[in-house]
Chains A and B, each alone.
Chain A
Amino acid sequence: MNSPLCKPWEHAFSRRQFLGASAGALALGAFGGLASSRAAEAMRKKEKQVLFVWLDGGISQLESWDPKPNTQFGGPFRAIPTSVPGVHFSELMPKSAKQMHRLCVVRSLCTKDNAHSSGVARIQRGDPKTRGVPYPFFGSAISKLMGPTASKLPAYVWIKPGSGGFKAEDAGFLGPKYGSVAFGDGKPPDDLLRHASLTTEADEERNELREMLNKRYAEQRRRNYTEASSYVFDTAQELMKRADIFDTTKMPAKELDRYGRTEIGQHMLVARNMLEAGVRFVKVNSYGWDTHGDNFNGHASLVPKFDRAFAAIVEDLAASGLLENTLVVAMSEFGRTPRINGHVGRDHWPEAWSLAMAGCGVKAGAVVGATNEKGTFVKDEGYDIGSVFHTWFNALGIDSQRVEYDNHGQPLPIAHDDMKPIKEALV
């Protein structure tokens, strides 16, 4: 896949199918068996992928990436050294601290919205200028701009607590084709598992029969529908074949322990398997970070669960070599107020907060920007989410200042037109 934008199949078919890039040219039989061979397969292809960890409600920067111990608003936790000399994290993140040499932490986010209802979408859409149409979330954007990988697995998978299914809402004006396949509680969408009455052989045979019928029918007709139909049936087949990648009951106890036997731990492990299998974009959601009351006990409980899972996946992706081509992001819709409120909580704070990245195209071991001594505001230049979107796109090799969406003839920039990538964060 050379150009991230223009793929021949997009011209040939109608909207809303999941379609693969140059899928026909690939030997799909090469897959199967061990996870490590799949990882090797994906590695060989050098296809870029994304892991996007969304900590919904707002992780406190002070209890994670940007501790301010012994200051007015610093809270009770200490800061600990990381694997990069001079860089400290909150003591709630000992495992991620050991991965700092692979991470790039931005401590100078300064965004606009302090409400969850609008902020979640605003941040995940990159908050571009108002164009009268809803912009796609990051995952849908990548699904559109990069398409699925050669694996034929869906381009955008969302692993989340709660309900699963086919979620179109992230896609905005791009249309539901670019929505996500959501694994609610890590479980697959309806009808994904092979029906109990079917054997693999029978299933494959009847599908070959269907392909034969389609071929015969299509010989004398317009090409439109046949290939699109084959593609979704193939994607279905690939997903069904890999039931192992999301079945946490079949995962080695050792790995489960390492990721943590928590919701986010299991979901992150599924995410790793999905990335290894070749899913282009995996989003993992964790809820419950909105600690207006009892912030410190809340974070003392939440952060270590995230820390364990996050450090484990960064380590695994690095070990398998996938990290080199996988952009990893962990963030929320905003940070939390330095000021501690009357309920020993922290409120919403978009003025000065942090996110962490790793992998593809980003500078390993770097800290970008800083907050002032009390952590109340950003020192020097603050970055809005528009700049962050430019940064991600560029890390993935997409020139965000030139590439545009085509909204039924209306050209739209893929990221805020007045902003630029954060240079210090890029390799």
Chain B
Amino acid sequence: MRAHHSRSPLIASFLVTIAFTGASFAAAAAPVSEAVDRAITAKAATAKQPLAGPASDAEFLRRAWLDFGGTIPTAEEARKYFADKDAGKRAKLIDQLIASPRFAERMGEAFHIQLMERNGNSLEWRSYLTESFRANKPWDQMAREIISPDFKDEKLRGAGYFITRRLEKVGQQDTDYPGLTRDTGRLFMGVDLQCCQCHKHLTVSDYKQADFSGLFMAFQNAKLQKPGGDYRTDWVAEGMVAKKYEFVSVLSSAKGATGPRVPLGKEVEIPTLAKEEQWIVPPDTKGKKAGIPRFSPLKEIAERLASPENPFFARNIANRIWFHLMGRGLVEPLDLMHSENPASHPELFDLLAQEMTAHKFDVKWLLRELALTQAYQRGSVIPPGAKDPPEDVFSVAKERPLSAEQLARAFLVATGEHERVAEGKGWEGIEGTKYSQKEFEKAFTAAFANEAREPELAVNPTLRSALFLRNNELVLWSLQRRTGNLIDRVAAMSDPAQIADEIYTAILTRPPTEDEKSDVAKYLTKHAADCEKALGHYAWAMLSSIEFFANH
């Protein structure tokens, strides 16, 4: 990144740029989306990489639906979009999707997957996230609510799951304070301090043992409590911190000590309090009730971490939102930001972080701004003349995996079973609970989600998922003819071209090519004896294909 990336000078220069950009933003008001495309185009030209053409309407429609609505459109919705002649229909679609109630659910889900990394789920946590996105709560506020949770507030206590879940004991392992420390650095600041638990980082000179220790001591001071009294959920009680945390490097045996500290930031001074001032509510040792200390390291950390003054906070969220829509961060890995790991587009990256700060960490704003770029709306087909285009040039749209939840929903929409399974319509007294939305999501999650604590960043076909698609009862059930479902609709058609159009539009959100139409016709002729079953197999092949599994 930048040579000026050492601590305090960086913050100073950062504040200067904010002030500067704030002014120029107001004056020039060039949309960020244009700046994005200028930067991407310039780098592609330098790298001599031809830019892919714009995504087709079909590819764009599917991509935008998946990203902002969490599922694919029905064939009917797709056809309506294809028929729309309005030149501004892409921007219109983005705005419609963002305005839909699905948007908050989709963002809540995406942030849940990102922040919990498949390590547990909780209704209150999910509803906290969804409602926060529904209210378009600024990201810095959310981060503070997550890092220093208000466990007594009915609407906010769900945020505490990020911490409480990570402090649950697993087997005979120690409470995983190091894991919580590491995840907080990774997910809120884009810095993975794991190595600094025991010594300074061996390959990243910016990361020091004090950076880990300062965050670690704040978390280690918090003890997991069971629900009771005013608390309806698991919660954490902080203890009294009166002195610094001491640590020793296992490599050099060098000793150090730190108070609470935001990684790569300044240490928080521990106040010297008279005995009677130490507690807002003193602990009740007889009743075994935790107290509330006047000095709360978590609060101090939360306020300093999720702040315009912490440059890593803005960079991290800008990078992660970019990743969310483009499939690759401007800085990679997402959690290894440091001075010797520059962004692929350094000026653009700085600009996004600055603008994100100037817009008070408005996630929806940045999502919309990026969705309007040519970069987001680019095709995934490699342009002629380009060979193995490097991902960090963003000259071709990157294919991204659908999450297990997106897959489950898209699968139900594609097979025409969504209304029956999700909304309970059209059962006609047949099998019920076995084929519920919940069962589908559970099964798809088991088959496609990563293992707990594995970030979901790339498409990872597994043996488990292949077996699931091949033999699972829910998958094959959806492909049997049933009133109103996809197979039922196409089985009632006699024109192979019409059949091809329906299954391609329903499953892959695009019309078939002439070749594909003739493939379908040939296949149906070959299997004229049992057309219904053959159609199920054809649909299965499409549903198991990469094209369906990738957000392209």
A: which residues have CB within 8 A of B?
14-18, 117-118, 132, 154, 165-166, 168, 175-177, 179, 181, 189-195, 197-198, 202-203, 205-207, 209-210, 212-214, 216-218, 220-226, 228-229, 231-233, 235-237, 239-240, 409-410
Choice from B380, B464, B466 contacting A221 with Cβ under 8 Å: B380
Inter-chain contact A18/B462, CB cutoff 8 Å: yes
- Bound complex: CA A235 to CA B454 (Å): 23
The residues of A that contact B399 with a CB separation of less than 8 Å are 221-222, 224-225
Inter-chain contact A191/B470, CB cutoff 8 Å: yes
Inter-chain contact A175/B464, CB cutoff 8 Å: no
The residues of B that contact A176 with a CB separation of less than 8 Å are 450-451, 454
Choice from A190, A192, A225 contacting B461 with Cβ under 8 Å: A225
Inter-chain contact B172/A232, CB cutoff 8 Å: no
Interface residue? B203 (CB, 8 A): yes
Find the B residue at minimum CB distance from A231. B461
- Which of B21-29, B122-130, B536-544 lies at the interface with chain A? B536-544
Jot down 30 A-B pairs with beta carbons below 8 A, ordered by A.
A14-B459, A166-B462, A177-B462, A181-B463, A189-B467, A190-B467, A190-B468, A191-B467, A191-B472, A192-B471, A195-B476, A198-B471, A206-B540, A209-B538, A209-B541, A210-B544, A213-B545, A216-B515, A217-B547, A220-B382, A222-B382, A225-B549, A228-B461, A229-B466, A232-B463, A233-B544, A235-B463, A237-B470, A240-B470, A410-B203
Inter-chain contact A166/B464, CB cutoff 8 Å: yes
Of B467, B549, B550, which is in contact with the most chain A CB atoms at under 10 Å from its CB? B467
Q: A-B pairs with CB below 8 Å: how many?
A: 147
Given that A132-B195, A220-B381, A232-B466 are contacting pairs, would A15 and B458 also be in contact in the complex, using a CB cutoff of 8 Å? Answer: yes
Choice from A16, A165, A166 contacting B460 with Cβ under 8 Å: A16
Interface residue? B171 (CB, 8 A): yes
B490-542 contacts to A, CB under 8 A, are 515, 519, 523, 533, 537-538, 540-542
Inter-chain contact B461/A213, CB cutoff 8 Å: no
Inter-chain contact A202/B451, CB cutoff 8 Å: no
Q: Which 5 A-B pairs have the closest CB atoms?
A: A209-B541, A236-B466, A206-B537, A210-B541, A16-B460
Inter-chain contact A236/B463, CB cutoff 8 Å: yes
Inter-chain contact B194/A132, CB cutoff 8 Å: yes
Q: What does the 1/0 interface line of B372-386 toward A look like (CB < 8 Å)?
A: 000000001110000
- The minimal Cβ–Cβ distance linking A351 to chain B, given in whole angstroms, is 23
The residues of B that contact A18 with a CB separation of less than 8 Å are 462-463
- Bound complex: CA A179 to CA B533 (Å): 36
The residues of B that contact A17 with a CB separation of less than 8 Å are 460-462
How many residues of chain B are within 8 Å of chain A by beta carbon? Answer: 51
Inter-chain contact A232/B461, CB cutoff 8 Å: yes
Choice from B388, B458, B476 contacting A197 with Cβ under 8 Å: B476
Inter-chain contact B460/A214, CB cutoff 8 Å: no
Interface residue? B396 (CB, 8 A): yes
- Bound complex: CA A237 to CA B469 (Å): 12
Interface residue? B473 (CB, 8 A): yes
Q: A17-B462, A191-B468, A213-B545 are known; give 7 further A-B pairs, CB within 8 A.
A: A14-B458, A14-B459, A16-B454, A175-B454, A191-B467, A207-B470, A209-B538
Given that A16-B462, A222-B382 are contacting pairs, would A168 and B471 also be in contact in the complex, using a CB cutoff of 8 Å? Answer: no
Choice from A213, A218, A225 contacting B542 with Cβ under 8 Å: A213
- The minimal Cβ–Cβ distance linking A13 to chain B, given in whole angstroms, is 9
Choice from B458, B466, B470, B473 contacting A203 with Cβ under 8 Å: B470
Given that A197-B476, A206-B541 are contacting pairs, would A232 and B471 also be in contact in the complex, using a CB cutoff of 8 Å? Answer: no
The residues of B that contact A203 with a CB separation of less than 8 Å are 470
Q: What does the 1/0 interface line of B355-392 toward A look like (CB < 8 Å)?
A: 00000000000000000000000001110000011000
Inter-chain contact A217/B396, CB cutoff 8 Å: no
- The minimal Cβ–Cβ distance linking B530 to chain A, given in whole angstroms, is 9
Inter-chain contact B467/A221, CB cutoff 8 Å: no
Choice from B197, B472, B540 contacting A132 with Cβ under 8 Å: B197
Q: What does the 1/0 interface line of B172-185 toward A look like (CB < 8 Å)?
A: 10000000000000
Q: What does the 1/0 interface line of B433-447 toward A look like (CB < 8 Å)?
A: 000000000000000
- Bound complex: CA A198 to CA B467 (Å): 14
Of A17, A205, A210, which is in contact with the most chain B CB atoms at under 10 Å from its CB? A210
Choice from A177, A209, A221, A235 contacting B382 with Cβ under 8 Å: A221
Inter-chain contact B471/A195, CB cutoff 8 Å: yes
Interface residue? B119 (CB, 8 A): no
- Bound complex: CA A194 to CA B538 (Å): 18
- Bound complex: CA A119 to CA B290 (Å): 36
The residues of A that contact B398 with a CB separation of less than 8 Å are 222
Of B545, B547, B549, which is in contact with the most chain A CB atoms at under 10 Å from its CB? B545
Interface residue? B344 (CB, 8 A): no
Inter-chain contact B471/A214, CB cutoff 8 Å: no
Interface residue? B112 (CB, 8 A): no
Given that A176-B451, A213-B542 are contacting pairs, would A154 and B463 also be in contact in the complex, using a CB cutoff of 8 Å? Answer: yes
Interface residue? B225 (CB, 8 A): no
Inter-chain contact A225/B550, CB cutoff 8 Å: yes
- Bound complex: CA A235 to CA B459 (Å): 17
The residues of A that contact B545 with a CB separation of less than 8 Å are 210, 213-214, 217
- The minimal Cβ–Cβ distance linking B538 to chain A, given in whole angstroms, is 7
- The minimal Cβ–Cβ distance linking B537 to chain A, given in whole angstroms, is 4
Interface residue? B546 (CB, 8 A): yes
Interface residue? B202 (CB, 8 A): yes
- Bound complex: CA A224 to CA B541 (Å): 20
The residues of A that contact B463 with a CB separation of less than 8 Å are 18, 154, 166, 181, 232, 235-236, 239
Interface residue? B278 (CB, 8 A): no
Interface residue? B220 (CB, 8 A): no
Inter-chain contact B466/A235, CB cutoff 8 Å: yes
Of A17, A221, A232, A239, which is in contact with the most chain B CB atoms at under 10 Å from its CB? A221
- Bound complex: CA A111 to CA B194 (Å): 29
Inter-chain contact A213/B541, CB cutoff 8 Å: yes
- Bound complex: CA A236 to CA B462 (Å): 9
- Bound complex: CA A193 to CA B470 (Å): 9
- Bound complex: CA A117 to CA B173 (Å): 10
- Bound complex: CA A376 to CA B407 (Å): 59
- Bound complex: CA A221 to CA B381 (Å): 5
Interface residue? B465 (CB, 8 A): yes
Interface residue? B198 (CB, 8 A): yes
Given that A16-B462, A205-B537 are contacting pairs, would A225 and B470 also be in contact in the complex, using a CB cutoff of 8 Å? Answer: no
Interface residue? B552 (CB, 8 A): yes
